[in-house]
Chain A
Amino acid sequence: DAGITQSPRYKITETGRQVTLMCHQTWSHSYMFWYRQDLGHGLRLIYYSAAADITDKGEVPDGYVVSRSKTENFPLTLESATRSQTSVYFCASSRSGNSNQPQHFGDGTRLSIL
């Protein structure tokens, strides 16, 4: 789905550095999500947002910060990167509404922290 894009696709950085992963969607979906995917753990929710200026913690939020000043953007920041944050990060979005809707995922960012 070209409507949701992540950048960069690959990133290598060093321990202690700040790094920001970008996510942009063109559908005007209300909900946006950040997941990390590690072997043996599937997709674990880091943070999610129900609308602009509304964010909430997921399962594994420690060490991450998000913001959502505009509906279409949902950046994820690692304030001081650690090796344990080496992972593949997926952004996703879904429509709002009382009935649940499927999530649409971006292509992912492969992040390596040395």
Chain B
Amino acid sequence: GENVEQHPSTLSVQEGDSAVIKCTYSDSASNYFPWYKQELGKRPQLIIDIRSNVGEKKDQRIAVTLNKTAKHFSLHITETQPEDSAVYFCAASKGAGKSTFGDGTTLTVKP
């Protein structure tokens, strides 16, 4: 089955710096790659997603890049703010709605 590895497991940055989280997947048939943000004690919520026919997608301070050849995708957060502190999960899916999640990255933004 699909295997998704996510790095780093923890990331600490200064407010205003950029943060990058990377994920690799094993199944070349995967074609949908969402990112979820989970604040402490809350539910995971979608922040951005990308499909395999697109190499990059941006939404304000958040961007995701996809390299299908290397089978990896990354989340980029620019101008980080304290409210960006959360656990971020990547996921990979190849259909039937089912996704395989990475183990998560705990991002801490220091004011």
Contact = CB atoms under 8 A, between A and B. Distances in A.
Contacts of B43: 90, 105-108
A32 B56 CA distance: 29
B101 interface: yes
Contacts of B89: 42-43
A100 B93 contact: yes
B97 A100 contact: yes
A96 B45 contact: no
B73 to A, nearest CB: 14
A45 interface: yes
B96 interface: yes
A99 B104 CA distance: 24
Interface residues of B, number: 26
Contacts of B93: 100
A106 B38 CA distance: 12
A31 interface: yes
Interface string B10-52: 0000000000000000000001101010000011111001010
Interface in B56-106: 89, 93-104
B101 A42 contact: yes
A57 B32 CA distance: 21
B46 A102 contact: yes
Nearest to B9: A40
A9 to B, nearest CB: 11
A12 to B, nearest CB: 18
Contacts of B6: 42
A102 B98 contact: no
B97 A101 contact: yes
A42 B7 CA distance: 13
Interface of A: 30-31, 33, 35, 40-45, 48, 50, 58-59, 90, 94, 96, 98-108
10 contacts: A31-B98, A41-B103, A42-B89, A42-B102, A44-B101, A90-B44, A99-B32, A100-B94, A100-B97, A107-B43
